[in-house]
Amino acid sequence: MAKNHVWILIGSGTLIGSGLLSGCAAGLQTPPNLAGIQDMSVREQVESDCRLEARWPTYQSAAYRGGAGRVREQLTNFPSGNEAATIALCARLERATQANASSLADDCKLLMEQRRLRYGDAALSNITRFQDVCRQLTGR
pTM assigned to the model? 0.70
Mean pLDDT of 83-90: 95
| Angle, helix 40-54 to helix 81-94, in steps of 10 degrees | 170
Which of the residue ranges 13-27, 71-85, 98-112 would you say has the lowest mean pLDDT? 13-27
Contact 84, 107 (CB under 8 A): no
Least confident of 9-18, 60-69, 128-137: 9-18
User: Does the pLDDT value for residue 23 go beyond 90?
Assistant: no
What distance in Å separates the CA atoms of residue 44 and residue 34, rounded to the nearest whole number?
Answer: 13
Average pLDDT, the chain: 82
Radius of gyration from C-alpha coordinates of the chain: 22
State how far Cα 51 lies from the chain centre: 5
pLDDT over 70 for what percent of the chain? 75
**Any idea how long the chain is?**
140
Residue 32 has pLDDT above 60, yes or no: no
